[in-house]
Amino acid sequence: MPTISIIVPVHNAEDTLERCVESILAQTHGDLDIILIDDGSSDISGAMCDAYAEFDARVRAVHTSNLGLSAARNLGVESALKRGSELIAFADADDFMEPDMLEELLKELDSQSADIAQCGYRIEGLRKARDEIAPKAAYDTMGAIAALMEESIKAAIWNKLYRSRIFDNLRFPEGRVFEEIATTHLMLLECRKIVSIPYIGYHYVMREGSITHTISMKNLSDFWTAHKERFDCLTRKDQSLLSANHENILAQETASAASRVLRWSFSCGTEERTKHARTFSEISDFTKNDLIIYDTSHWPVHLKATLAIARNMSTPTLAIAYLFNQVFIRLFPGKSWNRF
């Protein structure tokens, strides 16, 4: 039975950590290496990690200063590789797994000789719970990149099981959020085969004040950087990873990321925007240079309007973009592009 290392970054998670860890200990796949990375917690999370490590030999506790989510995950990856684990999975300390999640993913991974297996997940917490159902499918590398563009494969790390070799030369970008957008495509490029099953195995719990749902200029800049890095990687002229249609989808998603940054940035204040002047310069260059080769005629009106503003970047135009955003939030409150 192969060992699965499950990496759980922990930061001030005393209220949710027990449910998360207990759901992993209850997995029907028994050969587990549970790595709890206490990322400089100021509550009793670190002590809870130590208690679990003392209670169950399958649990290891690692303590570090507050380095951030990506750095904590990287520490876990390095620990798993050093241990010689064949497989790696991830969980966030707010979330939890169904008892047979890892067994189901491993079954599909082995039967298909695949490198990554993904399942569906349930989003719960702030809004009404909803299921993200994964398709029953198998992809080669290019098919997986196309599925990522179509969102059949999600840019989420915790609903998947990975062959550990994928991480031999791959780490998460430290000091940034939205790291999964910046790395999922890189993981897929390391694979020969990726499989997907229509099974809800993971519970993603949204909560108030979580990092990726907090609007700040730093987060907006990280959001843009992740999308732009993915765009640059997948549209390199020395490779042919995407069809014309999927490349257009990627261009629209990247433009949508730029649009969201512009529409929300005015609420962050002049000083914060000045610190991140490079982000606005990159977005302006992207709209002027990269987008000119794509057919944008079918793109949503709100997106084209915001990008038109981006070509003349200034404080007044950002104010217009922000007001434009507020109007659309009130007119169409349920639309996903109104949320950061």
Residue 20: inside a domain: yes
Q: Which tokens belong to 149?
A: 């563009």
Q: Which helix (DSSP H) or strand (DSSP E) does residue 32 occupy?
A: strand 32-39
51 and 181, same domain (yes or no) = yes
User: Is residue 42 located within the same domain as residue 13?
Assistant: yes
Q: Exposed (0-12), middle (13-18) or buried (19+): which is 111, by Cβ within 10 Å?
A: exposed
Do 167 and 55 lie in one domain? The reply is yes
Both 51 and 155 in one domain: the answer is yes
In this prediction, residue 331 has a pLDDT band, given cuts at 50, 70 and 90, of low
Do 102 and 65 share a domain, yes or no?
yes
In this structure, is residue 52 part of a structural domain? Answer: yes
Q: 100-135, pLDDT tens digit by residue?
A: 999 999 999 999 999 999 999 999 987 789 999 999
In a domain, 135, yes or no: yes
Is there a domain that residue 274 lies in? yes
Asked if residue 62 is part of any domain, the answer here is: yes
* Residue-range definition of the domain harbouring residue 137: 4-205
As for how many domains the chain has, the answer is 2
Rounded to an integer, the average pLDDT of 21-48 is 97
Q: Distance between CA atoms of 145 and 149, rounded to whole angstroms?
A: 6
Residue appearing with tokens 């990269």: 290
On whether both 246 and 130 belong to a single domain, the answer is no
Please check whether residue 210 lies inside any domain of the structure. Answer: no
The CA-atom distances, in angstroms, between 331 and each of 63, 166, 301, 321, 326 are 47, 45, 14, 15, 9
Instruction: Tell which of 205, 237, 263 closes a domain.
Output: 205
One-letter amino acid for residue 120 of the chain: G
Does a structural domain hold residue 235? yes
Is 50 exceeded by the pLDDT of residue 19? yes
The DSSP 8-state label assigned to residue 72 in this structure reads H
Do 91 and 229 fall within a single domain? no
49 and 191: one domain?
Answer: yes
Q: With contact defined as beta carbons under 8 Å apart, do 235 and 185 qualify?
A: no
Which tens digits make up the pLDDT trace of 266-302? 667 778 777 888 898 898 889 889 998 998 889 888 7
Q: What residue type is assigned to position 337 of the chain?
A: W
Q: Does the pLDDT at position 338 exceed 90?
A: no
199 shares a domain with 98? yes
Q: What is the pLDDT of residues 189-204, one digit of tens each?
A: 999 999 999 999 999 9
d(CA 252, CA 229): 14
| pLDDT given for residue 210 in this prediction | 60
pLDDT tens digit string along 218-231?
898 999 999 999 99
User: What percent of the chain lies above the pLDDT cut of 90?
Assistant: 69
251 contact partners, CB below 8 Å, separation of at least 6: 231, 235, 290, 291, 294
Q: pLDDT tens, 295-323?
A: 888 988 878 877 777 766 554 555 555 55
CA distances from 53 to 3, 25, 37, 315 (A): 17, 12, 11, 53
**Structural domain contains residue 306:** yes
SS3 215: coil
Q: Based on the fold, state whether residues 144 and 46 are members of the same structural domain.
A: yes
Chosen domain end from 205, 240, 260 = 205
Looking at 205, 238, 253, which one is the last position of a domain? 205
Shared domain for 93 and 20, answered yes or no, is yes
pLDDT of residue 337: 41
One-character DSSP codes across 53-82: HHH-TTEEEEEE-S--HHHHHHHHHHHHHH
Residues 182 and 35 in one domain: yes
Q: What is the token pair recorded at 111?
A: 């039967």
Higher pLDDT, 306 or 24: 24
Which amino acid does the sequence have at 94?
D
What are 42-75's pLDDT values in tens digits? 999 999 999 999 999 999 999 999 999 999 999 9
The tens digit of pLDDT for each residue in 138-180 reads 999 999 999 999 999 999 999 999 999 999 999 999 999 999 9
Per-residue pLDDT, 94? 96
CATH code, domain carrying 149: 3.90.550.10
Secondary structure of residue 169 in the 3-state scheme: coil
At 211, the pLDDT band (50, 70, 90 cuts) reads: low
